[in-house]
Structure 1
């Protein structure tokens, strides 16, 4: 599950390394500044170096021309911009790196990007910043207060770095971003938007809860906002799958998934391999139970029981749910990773117990979750449903989650959304919308349409004042190429419908065309 929780782009981004030759022949033909204007922009950019802005020191400021190579993922650049690196040390034990891309043709708006896994967004800025900066947005991201590491060893003995990761880095990124933008362009940003998915979704909700003035609209994808519970659930799932039943079920997940889809696929009026509303599906894995013995084409009694427990969720000794179960249709991602690749193991080793030798085999759900909550809930959990300060000032919250997500259960996002609407009152609740995407895994991927322009939706909503009830989501033939701004083919489109509505086929026309579906 770790690769999936990193962003949804995670494993796919590795494929970008082999795209160099293709990228060289497919660079976008885009009009940038010319002659004296370009020279003046470049001079204004480099003159930022050494300045103190927003409490940070500008360490680097470089003019980046179109079609230059960007690293660490080798991609040709399409927008023309000023690339700024700043550092700030707000307290002893903390040092945060902030990066900004300032386009030559600015639309007077700023966007911020959330992180992934235990990281900030700096390692993939040249993927995630390309599109918004090409559209004229200034963009800001942070390293979440630490260097990139396969494991969060940076947290050992460094509580302030955990605070940076928890909430401080992105807030200071917003403060610094606004200060640099105002100085560079000679005017403040008229609007500021933020987007993040997975841990970036937690980042996004943390900003809405703690710093309601930082951004005007926020897009939240599959948020890991109940972080301590999610890490405990990861650890418990590892133990659950460590026995014979888990090993057996892990080899039969395709069988289980196929049966689930066969049972529930047609509920939206069309058989297309997607379960539109898994919550309306009556599927019991017992229908696959072996009549006698065991085989690859059936589930043992113990495997059926384990599958039911995954659907049910993580439950404490008191019978209360700690983490929602995974919906029908998400089965292909249930197999947990190896201990050293399990985010739960890393969380307890490096953040909770401060012991790199802690063994995940000693994990006890109720005891260790209580320890984690006592020590870190106030730092890393973003579960406060009272978004009145943010929504009440006109802030917009657009949440989305894939039904087939095998990393963060959609049920927790739905529960949080309903809690927000109940807490903030009817008037403020109009500024929050939730969209659930069928067939979509963690932050994308899967069979379902998984791409839409987050910032365009936020901007349209903010400018018009009308909450989106429906927008089109697309499935591309190459998701990596889509983010790299290379030509792609749209395989399927589908309307995303504001909860509790869902897309239903009208009965005629291509099932791969969103126009042939209605929200009801």
Structure 2
């Protein structure tokens, strides 16, 4: 079954700018050549001496010599050197930097087959980046998109297929508990071990700093690493995390059941545009500027009953079944006894609902169906008509939660090592409720105590949809921000988000055309218009 839009390419595109059984031996601590990174480092790096540059250079011969070599107990299945200008799949964009691509197939269990791809730039900054997946992950369709920006800045980088070949469905999980574990937590840990080990082997120098970044399922990947393997990475970017995975799938199934019960789901899309206009009329200008972006949706008191149909009406208003669905989407999904499964979506996000939760081909509904069919009930015929929120959400947690849910809020083992965590979430996200991330961040901050002040930040992004796109500025150099934070020990409190006219420029190396900027303020603050200056320029806003 095809899921459209997938949570794969979309999430990996935005993610760049993201367990005891490993199947590989843990590499010995790397011997450091020097404490200084090389010239092509990212923000915050120090200048390098000539000897450091020489120690951290790659070349075609050295790359080819890796083929067939055993690295941390796993053989290199392919090693290929890419020159500048070679087309890279899936978009066939010209490669921007020389690098060595190394591929592994890790088999931590007899049922496992985890493909891992490591890109090693010709000139290395002695830093390493892991990139998370999206949706059900799978395949290498996103690697050139996800890894190119990091590698072009001098980072070695790794991506994994999470142990299966397809991202469009979850049939690979049917009767395969070990593959579910590979997807849930094991693959990224093995990728970190192999990626660091092959970097050491290729450059003759050890990784000095390791970062991980991902959004959606990639954000879940990041939290899973911090919770289970706090020594794998020094800092992580957690975007719109699907960390309450089983609850999220249960909410998708609940919405799917309601959507299938509507007399005409295709009639809802234009009505949702009408609903959003009513939301904007109520809440748009509360940050001091009427611009189509709601800065604090959690404070918007819009009642969808204001656009309900009167008796006999069906046009330009919400019928009773449509109103019930819209109210549920705003309120969130609950069991009959009042237990919340997932919080609701934010006012202002309605233009994205048909893509994820309120359309005949909504991607979230497809994921929910695939999840229950293949990971919970092992029944390819399972349908939304059989869904019971209390019974089936409990079954989902019992049967898949231990592998898929990254909900432990005690991150102190990671933070005490000096770990940093940068959370971000778009307010217009219609796939994963922003309130879910806020709730996790606040709970984790309470558990961390004083460590939270220096080690954790959350940035909410007005007008940004699921990980990217939407009405507002959606691009931030989260990797550069994280690197500067680690290098300087100064936690960020204000970031600048940009909206690009030519978005693919981020991946092609061309200069992006910025059409709007807006500050992002560390939670719980938000940006308000200062009263003067252009509403398209971040300097016109203050964090309050």
TM-score normalised by structure 2 residue count: 0.88
Work out the CA distance in 2 between the residues paired with 1:295 and 1:282: 25
Structure 1 residue 12: deviation in Å? 10
Aligned match for 1:124, one of 129, 142, 158: 142
Q: Give yes or no for the alignment of 1:408 onto 2:408.
A: no
1:169 corresponds to: 187
**Do the aligned partners of 2:4 and 2:362 also contact (CA within 8 Å) in 1?**
no
The answer to whether the Cα contact below 8 Å between 2:114 and 2:161 also exists between their aligned partners in 1 is yes
Deviation, 1:39, is 11
Which of 515, 520, 533 does residue 491 from structure 1 map onto? 515
Q: Which residue pairs with 1:142 in the alignment? A: 160
Structure 1 residues 265-344: aligned runs within 5 Å:
265-334=284-353, 335-338=358-361, 342-344=366-368
- Pairing 1:348–2:366 present: no
Work out the CA distance in 1 between the residues paired with 2:4 and 2:453: 33
- Looking at structure 1, the residues matched to 228 and 290 of structure 2 have their Cα atoms a distance apart, in angstroms, of 44
Q: Does the 8 Å contact 1:155/1:350 carry over to 2? A: yes
2:444 & 2:58 partners in 1: Cα distance?
A: 48
CA RMSD, aligned part only?
2.3
CA contact (8 A) 2:8 2:167 kept: no
Report if aligned partners of 1:115, 1:196 keep a CA contact under 8 Å in 2: yes
Work out the CA distance in 1 between the residues paired with 2:462 and 2:527. Answer: 9
Shift of 1:65: 0.3
Report the Cα distance in structure 1 between the residues aligned to 2:262 and 2:124, rounded to whole angstroms: 58
CA distance in 1, matches of 2:98, 2:362: 43
CA–CA separation in structure 2 for the residues paired with 1:99 and 1:303: 46
Could you tell me how far apart the structure 2 residues matched to 1:207 and 1:178 are? 15
Q: Secondary structure at the match of 1:314?
A: strand
- Are the aligned partners of 1:218 and 1:398 in contact in 2 as well (CA < 8 Å)? yes
Worse-superposed segment, 180-189 or 358-367: 358-367
User: CA 1:77 to 1:184, structure 2 compared with 1: closer, same or farther past 3 Å?
Assistant: same
Alignment match, 1:102: 120
Q: Distance in 2 between matches of 1:301 and 1:152?
A: 34
- Cα distance in 2 for partners of 1:463, 1:157 equals 45
Aligned residue for 1:434, secondary structure, equals strand
SS at structure 1 position matched to 2:165: coil
Distance 1:454 1:40 in 2: 27
1:259 to 270, 278, 293: 278
Question: How many angstroms apart in 2 are the aligned matches of 1:278 and 1:38?
Answer: 48
Alignment partner, residue 20 of structure 1: none
What does 1:87-486 align with in structure 2 at a 5 Å threshold? 87-120=105-138, 122-244=140-262, 247=265, 248-334=267-353, 335-338=358-361, 342-486=366-510
TM-score if structure 1 supplies the norm length? 0.92
CA distance change for structure 1 residues 40 and 137 in 2, over 3 Å: closer, same or farther?
A: closer
How far apart are residue 205 of structure 1 and its match?
0.6
Per the TM alignment, residue 485 of structure 1 is displaced from its structure 2 partner at its CA by: 3.1
Partner residue, 1:510? 534
Pairing of 1:42-53 with structure 2 (within 5 A):
42-53=60-71
The structure-2 alpha-carbon separation of the partners of 1:497 and 1:66, relative to structure 1 and needing over 3 Å to count, comes to same
The Cα shift of 1:152 comes to 1.5
Q: 1:383-420, CA deviations, whole angstroms, 9 ceiling, x for partnerless residues?
A: 11000000111100000000000000001100000110
**Deviation (angstroms), 1:222:** 0.5
SS at match of 1:475: strand
> Which sections of structure 2, spanning at least 5 residues, go unmatched?
16-39, 41-53
Q: Is the 8 A contact 1:7 1:116 kept in 2?
A: yes
Per-residue CA deviation, residues 474-518 of structure 1 (Å, 9 max, x unaligned), is 111133343333343111001111000101111111111111111
Q: 1:10 and 1:390 mapped to 2: Cα distance?
A: 24
- Looking at structure 1, the residues matched to 522 and 461 of structure 2 have their Cα atoms a distance apart, in angstroms, of 10
Distance 2:13 2:380 in 1: 26
Which structure 1 residue ranges, 5 or more long, are not aligned?
Answer: 14-29, 31-35
Partners in 2 of 1:166 and 1:439 — Cα distance?
A: 30
SS at match of 1:406: coil
Q: Detail structure 1 runs of 4+ shifted over 4 Å in the superposition.
A: 9-13, 36-40
Alignment partner of 2:141: what SS? helix
